Amino acid sequence: MAEPTALTGRWAPSPTGDLHIGNLRTALLAWLFARSRGGRFLWRFEDLDNAVRPEYYRRQLADVAAMGMDWDGEPIRQSDRTELYQEALQTLRATGLVYPCFCSRREIRDAVSAPHEYLSQGAYPGTCRDLTIAQVAKRSESRRPAALRLRVSDVEVTIVDELLGSHTGYVDDVVLQRGDGTPAYNLVVVVDDADQGVTQVVRADDLLASTPRQIHIARLLGVEPPDYAHVPLVLNSDGQRLAKRDGAVTLGDRIQLGESPIDVLNAILSSLNLGSLDSVDQLPRRAETFDPISLPQTSWIYSP
């Protein structure tokens, strides 16, 4: 694992489409948090998803650069790092805490809708956690390939988020590897952050619920989790999370409508109470005066 020499932040999009305004706003915040404190800013592609398309690697890099942001070193791809994830998985398996799970999403959804104190927290109901060797063998023959889960017993983790304050979350039996053999998000993000020496994670607040799980996994692997700042989402006019189906919400869309990158950047800066700039080249100046205490605590409603 890398030894951090200074504050290190990161941006980790999935190359499954063009970045929309909400993505760009979160990227900008992650960049400002890192650069305002003299830190490094790394780019990591979370590209283990089947919906990844080759053209989006380049287009996402180009859009972020067009907004005046830079990054340190070459972007890395999770798809090039599967050996690291398998090593971490083997470390966890050696603890005896990893077990196969044959449940479908529907079965889990139906189970967690039942009235039960444990299930009411939205946790995995533990259907497969105590299967016998014979039961595992039988299900392996008759059902889909098993995912791998981490056995967790009555664990709660409290974090102190820079923007949201103290948050305590229940840790359920989190998936470590999907049934198709793909390492799961909550494992790979821990491995990547530790390997790259990431000390600060700035991301959207819809990922807050995953943070206790990731901290628990980090502790089991013997690595230091980063500090966190979860920022408000960008929502559409209906109050739902902004998505590309909401209209002209990507940088390319806005340019086709006659706007420029500085127009889009200023709209985002304004939504963050950070004023405006004359050109994207001036963005480093904003980093010099950036103070997260001035950031709004509510979501931005964006109506293109």
Residues 172 and 107 occupy one common structural domain: yes
CATH at residue 137: 3.90.800.10
Q: What is the widest separation between alpha-carbon atoms in the chain?
A: 69
Asked whether residue 163 is assigned to any structural domain, the reply reads yes
pLDDT at 263: 97
In angstroms, the CA 56 to CA 70 distance is: 18
Asked whether residue 168 is assigned to any structural domain, the reply reads yes
Mean pLDDT of the chain: 91
Residues 64 and 110 occupy one common structural domain: no
40 CB contacts (<8 Å, ≥6 apart)? Answer: 6, 7, 8, 9, 34, 72
Give yes or no for a contact between 304 and 251, defined as CB atoms under 8 angstroms apart.
Answer: no
For residues 98-123, average pLDDT: 67
For residues 129-136, average pLDDT: 88
Q: Which residues pair with 155 in a beta bridge?
A: 171
Asked whether residue 183 is assigned to any structural domain, the reply reads no
Q: How confident is the model at residue 122 (pLDDT cuts 50, 70, 90)?
A: low
Could you read off the pLDDT of 52-93 as tens digits, one per residue? 999 999 999 999 999 999 999 999 999 999 999 999 999 999
Could you read off the pLDDT of 2-43 as tens digits, one per residue? 444 589 999 999 999 999 999 999 999 999 999 999 999 999
Asked whether residue 252 is assigned to any structural domain, the reply reads yes
For residue 107, pLDDT beyond 90: no
Domain count of the chain? 2
Asked whether residue 219 is assigned to any structural domain, the reply reads no
Q: State yes or no: is 244 an active-site residue.
A: yes
Residues 101 and 172 occupy one common structural domain: yes
Query: What DSSP letter does each residue of 121-184 carry, written as one string?
Result: GT----TTTT--HHHHHHHHHHSSPPEEEE---SEEEEEEETTTEEEEEEE---EEE-TTSPBP
CATH at residue 276: 3.40.50.620
pLDDT at 5: 54
Asked whether residue 221 is assigned to any structural domain, the reply reads no
Instruction: Give the end of a domain, one of 154, 177, 200.
Output: 177
pLDDT at 154: 85
For residue 252, pLDDT beyond 60: yes
Q: What is the pTM of this model?
A: 0.91
Asked whether residue 251 is assigned to any structural domain, the reply reads yes
Write down the residue that tokens 């039942």 correspond to: 114
Asked whether residue 205 is assigned to any structural domain, the reply reads no
Could you read off the pLDDT of 183-221 as tens digits, one per residue? 999 999 999 999 999 999 999 999 999 999 999 999 999
Annotated catalytic residue: which of 16, 111, 244, 252? 244
Parent domain of 71: 8-80+232-301
